[in-house]
């Protein structure tokens, strides 16, 4: 059978739907699915990839249920949900466990959306949207970087971000950052790319997580150094680049003009980078627009407001879903159907 994936495209404030044939991607590995999305956007066949960032099973399910084509597991979010700042207090194993929960949330949402395996299943392919995982600095030397790629690959991640900060790293929009030397940064990225290729050699074409190489050197070493690092990362074999925290639209444009391949724009509200509409970012040359803290920040704000209402003895109904909606979002509806399906 044939299936089509629909992309929402923002043009002059209006939403247009573009159908892309995905019949050949039925059942394909997550990195291959992500690769096809990137190629469709870069070719102009599809709009920029809007990528709200998740950090656990429920946020992954929400992103998938809302119809987005991809997501990113943010280390800030994983750290924040654990009650920590994004200063690499969370370990490699904790991040891999979080990736497993994200992957499970994405796959469960995909199966539910098409009623796969149920009597009313219409034959549409279940599509678990691809996720890029935050690999921070790789949790050690180049060998640790390779192990991190393999760890995320085994959880079903479509890609991994690796960055050039000194460990312990921190959020790219806070003070106190430092980066490793240029050549060492390139070798770190090369190790990640080698691990991608080694994983693919072991498990087949399209299984190696795509590598998103990030530099934070703009703040520490200047814009030209950041550009040269991105160019060198591409020469080392990375699939995508991410120049963190450009401070002007001019810097964003120049980055897109001078660096080849897919590029990520980090749309952090109240951060250092100008927040631009998706269509403007695509016109500049960006492939992905990531929204790293929107879900975490929105949930914190709503929880704080709800707690204040409880403290004041006031109702919270305006802040919450009704119970049936909450049950459905977390999977009770699907669970009940599955339970009935296997009853004797």
> Pick from 138, 152, 121: which is nearest to 34 by CA?
152
Q: What is the pLDDT of residues 209-243, one digit of tens each?
A: 999 999 999 999 999 999 999 999 999 999 999 99
pLDDT of residue 235: 98
pLDDT of residue 18: 41
299: preceding bond cis by omega (within 30 degrees): no
**C-alpha angle 42/100/69, rounded to 5°?**
25
pLDDT of residue 170: 64
Contact 41, 282 (CB under 8 A): yes
pLDDT of residue 119: 79
Contacts of 245 (CB under 8 A, 6+ apart): 172, 173, 216, 218, 219, 266, 271, 272, 273
pLDDT of residue 114: 87
pLDDT of residue 175: 67
- 320 pLDDT band, cuts 50/70/90, is very high
Q: Which of 172-186, 305-319, 330-344 has the highest mean pLDDT?
A: 305-319
State the burial class of residue 242 (Cβ atoms within 10 Å of its Cβ: 0-12, 13-18, 19+): buried
> For residue 46, is pLDDT > 50?
yes
97-101, long-range: CB < 8 A, 24+ apart: 98/55, 98/56, 98/73, 99/73, 99/131, 99/133, 99/151, 99/152, 99/155, 99/156, 99/157, 100/155, 101/56, 101/57, 101/60
Q: What is the pLDDT of residues 146-193, one digit of tens each?
A: 999 999 999 999 999 999 999 877 665 666 789 999 999 999 999 999
Contact 230, 241 (CB under 8 A): yes
> For residue 66, is pLDDT > 80?
yes
Give me the mean pLDDT over the 192-203 stretch. 98
> For residue 142, is pLDDT > 50?
yes
Give the DSSP letter string of 258-314: HS-S-BEEE--TTSSSPP--HHHHHHHT-SEEEESSHHHHHHHHHHHHHHHHHHTT-
């Amino acid at each position: 059978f044939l299936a089509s994936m629909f992309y929402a495209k923002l043009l002059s404030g209006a939403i247009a739907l573009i159908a892309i044939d995905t019949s050949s991607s039925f059942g394909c590995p997550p990195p291959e699915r992500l690769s096809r999305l990137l190629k469709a956007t870069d070719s102009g066949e599809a709009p920029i990839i809007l990528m709200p960032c998740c950090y656990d099973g429920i946020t992954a399910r929400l992103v998938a249920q809302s119809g987005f084509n991809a997501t990113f597991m943010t280390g800030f979010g994983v750290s924040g949900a654990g009650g920590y700042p994004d200063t690499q207090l969370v370990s490699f194993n904790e991040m891999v466990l979080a990736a497993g929960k994200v992957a499970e949330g994405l796959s469960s949402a995909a199966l539910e959306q098409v009623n796969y395996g149920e009597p009313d299943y219409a034959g549409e392919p279940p599509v678990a949207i691809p996720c890029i995982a935050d690999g921070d600095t790789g949790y050690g030397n180049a060998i640790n970087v390779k192990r991190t790629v393999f760890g995320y690959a085994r959880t079903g991640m479509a890609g991994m971000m690796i960055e050039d900060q000194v460990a312990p790293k921190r959020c790219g929009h806070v003070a106190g950052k430092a980066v490793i030397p240029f050549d060492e940064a390139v070798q770190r990225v090369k190790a990640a790319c080698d691990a991608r290729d080694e994983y693919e050699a072991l498990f087949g074409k399209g299984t190696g997580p795509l590598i998103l190489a990030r530099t934070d050197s703009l703040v520490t070493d200047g814009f030209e150094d950041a550009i040269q690092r991105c160019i060198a990362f591409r020469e080392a074999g990375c699939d995508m680049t991410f120049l963190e925290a450009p401070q002007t639209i001019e810097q964003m444009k120049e980055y897109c003009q001078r660096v080849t391949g897919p590029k990520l724009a980090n749309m952090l509200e109240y951060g250092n980078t100008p927040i631009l509409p998706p269509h403007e970012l695509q016109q500049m040359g960006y492939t992905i627009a990531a929204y790293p803290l929107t879900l975490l920040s929105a949930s914190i704000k709503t929880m704080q407001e709800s707690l204040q209402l409880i403290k004041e003895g006031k109702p919270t109904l305006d802040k919450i879903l009704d119970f049936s909606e909450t049950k459905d979002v977390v999977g009770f509806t699907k669970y009940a159907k599955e339970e009935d399906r296997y009853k004797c």
